[in-house]
Chain A
Amino acid sequence: MPHGTLRRRQLLASTSAVLLAGCSVRARTISDTRPWSAGAGEPPIAITPGPWVFFSPEEGATVDALVERLIPHDALSVSGREAGCSVFIDRQLAGAYGSSERLYMRPPFMAGTPMQGMQSALTPAAQYRQGLAALHAYCRVAYVGRLPHEMTAEQRDALLKGLESRQVKLDGADGHGFFELLLTNTMEGFFADPLYGGNQGFAGWKMIGFPGARYDYRDEIAHRNQVIDVATVGITGRPDWTRKGT
């Protein structure tokens, strides 16, 4: 979600906040009409490029270095870093997702069975903060002071594999859980609409051949088992539309 502006939906998300603030969301009585006013919609707000919003410079450098290995640059696509996955994660953590605003976060927090799902009091933002700090502490010892952005590609791959397989254990954070969250968010960024910061140049969509936000395949539905050759398009259009004349 975009940072900076507090949107109506975000206010609504945790209704207790709304009750305390006692404000902007109004209960409405609607009669004899369908309410509509120009501009009443809530288009998504594109992220603002620029410096990290959530990450510290050191945290950001680490996430850059890791997403670059989760999705490496090769013949199939640019890297996760080049596609903007770390910017995507940064902006997500700064918004409603990062603070678990929409989730049920009332105590008591108790460990449950796997079938009962996530029971942690930690928000994604807290998981990154703790996970990255613990990872840095681990690297300082295991890689003699070198942080991921100072490591070779092979070293970073080994580190990621260690976290994935639980062979690398972090002090003060769940290393495996951090890896899983990072992988999930990296994939979200690589395949979400570019307006959220990742998937720049439609890197993820072009890799698999997903045409994006086209919304109409009536001309193509009958072309079964054939290559569908349509241009990729995002919610805000295509770079060659918006860059024209600049």
Chain B
Amino acid sequence: MARKLPGVDAVIVGLGWTGAILAERLTAAGLKVVAIERGPWRDTATDFPPSYAPDELRYAIRQDLFLRPAQETVTFRNKTSETALPIRSFGSFLPGNGVGGAGTHWNGQTWRFLEKDFVVKSHVTERYGKSAIPEGMTIQDWGVTYADLEKSYDSFEWTAGVSGRAGNIAGTRQQGGNPFEGPRSRDFPLPPLELSHASSLFAKAARELGHSPFPCPAANASRAYTNPLGVTLGPCTYCGFCERFGCGNYSKGSPQTTILPVLMRRPNFEARTNAEVLKVLTDRSGTRATGVTYVDAQGEELEQPAELVLLCAYQFCNVRLMLLSGIGTPYDPAAGTGVVGRNYCYQTGAGAQLFFENTRMNPFIGSGALQQVIDDFNGDNFDHTGLGFIGGGSISCGQTNGRPILYRPTEPGSPRWGSAWKQATVAGYQNAASVGSQGSSYAYRDSYLDLDPTYTDRFGRPLLRMTFDWHDNEHKAAAYATQRCMEIGRAMGAKQVLARNLSEHYSIVPYQSTHTVGGAAMGADPKTSAVKRYLQSWDVPNVFAVGAHAFPQNHGYNPTGTVGALAYWAAEAITSQYLKSPGALVPT
């Protein structure tokens, strides 16, 4: 039996990006909040100071800061007829663990989705007709609009210290920004980052081809910056150790550098680390959560009663906790009914690998979100008539790093060892660049999450099972993006331009992105969504689940700008509506 602790107003599962945002907002509203975090306490000075942060082996290869599969993993198969096997070593995506979550070691590319992304199903149907949506595709509208979320996006960007250039302020086009973006209420808090050689060639070539390049919104501070909570970030030094690393310079927007210094000092907040939540407890009716149980590092099981339970444990951990706790109806792919596990999606990747001659790319000078981007082929920013697919992607060229264990591009046909390998490696290091597309990954009836029948974690609980593959629409969209990337690569003057196609089947082996989304969508209809537009569970109204699981499908950008916005959006709904009259929220 779990030892029962004194109750609190709210318990938060996970202290990453969303957990930190909600804890800050709810403690500001006067609630007594406890956050329970599976991993250790982590901070800049102790865990990744500049003196030893730049350690590629430790952090990027041995994955020191990430979730270790020994603790929790996912089983995977491409289709229902296969037996899912555990991801024994993380590859395709790298979940976070510990205070800060994946917000500690992300790149900081901080996007807003397009206005039409939020109403993708209605928009596509209206513009191209019902038949444009292929058989088996289950895309849907979000239940919130861009306009609903604008203020929340703004809160996240100003908290995280995002560098960029607005393309649209209150409906007025801004020179040098993204002409396709939805209207912003104001500019970014910081000007854009500097350019690398490759990204300056990209910007020039893209402009010549009639596209509209602009800087990627970056949670890498281009200048020193003090955010609305009074926390100061230092300027990015372009050190080239961003993604997979904690930032020793306090320059990357993360919970540690933007929220925790204030949150940790609030007397009505408490963090419990090395403590893993097992399940959300509900009363006999199953419609009211009474708290959570968790196991601490000593192996003791504890019960934390709470009036409000917030799942902020990252996309797939949230879905798993909902399934393990019986919150919401599990998805049944055969019948097409149920919602928890439904519409699991990812992100397509395609592009062009480029090789130049006698160039000095100096790839080691870079930062996580140093990129030039075009949005001309994203979402429905271009006419899809006759193309045979829907969706699209952002296309970019940047420079995140030249860390040599992983970054050693060589021309095709080069040997992999011996003296000839060395020559190819030396030439490739300074002469290579790439243009890449991150594309939409739309939802399908046969791509979903459920509990694995065979494999368990260290507590004997079933692992989450992922059934996922690319579909024809995504292959076609990615092939189209590859062509656009290659055109730009040629215009950049590359000697060799090689296609990087979407893999035939989705594989969990090579790193692609930690952009796992969906599985407990938000929406307006309880038949097709697990949480309401306020991220509130339809079935258990004192549970809110915040994260990328709420995306009904994925669009052509990184997720965290929208994840952060959803956290502020849910916090606003809780503090301004729910607390006044706890219960099921109705749309206003």
A→B interface (CB under 8 Å): 1, 9, 12-16, 18-19, 22, 25-36, 40-44, 69-72, 74, 76-77, 96-97, 101-106, 108, 110, 112-119, 157, 160, 164, 183, 186-188, 191-193, 196, 204-205, 207-218, 220-228, 235
Contact = CB atoms under 8 A, between A and B. Distances in A.
Contacts of A13: 68, 70
Given A74-B419, A119-B85, A209-B429, A28 B274 contact: yes
Q: What secondary structure prevails in chain A residues at the interface with B?
A: loop
A26 B239 CA distance: 34
A69 to B, nearest CB: 7
Contact of A235 (B55, B196, B364, B402): B55
A70 B270 contact: no
B335 interface: no
B272 A28 contact: yes
Contacts of A101: 70
A220 B362 contact: yes
A117 B88 contact: yes
A11 to B, nearest CB: 10
Interface of B: 40-41, 43, 45-47, 49-58, 61-64, 68-71, 73, 76-78, 82-89, 91, 194-197, 200, 235, 237-241, 248-249, 260-261, 264-267, 269-275, 296-299, 359-362, 364-365, 402-405, 408, 416-419, 422-423, 425-426, 429-430, 454-456, 458, 505-509
B401 to A, nearest CB: 10
Contacts of B53: 215
B55 A217 contact: no
A215 B248 contact: yes
A72 B418 contact: yes
A69 B88 CA distance: 31
Contacts of A115: 76, 78, 505-509
Q: Name the 7 nearest CB pairs between A and B, nearest first.
A: A27-B296, A104-B69, A192-B57, A213-B54, A115-B507, A191-B404, A216-B237
Nearest to B193: A221
B417 A218 contact: no
A197 to B, nearest CB: 10
A196 B422 contact: no
A26 B408 CA distance: 41
Given A115-B508, A188-B57, A30 B85 contact: no
A221 B417 CA distance: 32
Given A27-B275, A27-B297, A183-B416, A188 B46 contact: no
B41 A35 contact: yes
A45 B43 CA distance: 20
Contact of B43 (A34, A70, A103): A34
Nearest to A96: B62
A191 B55 CA distance: 11
Contact of B270 (A31, A77, A108, A221): A31
A182 B403 CA distance: 20
Given A117-B508, A228-B365, A215 B196 contact: no
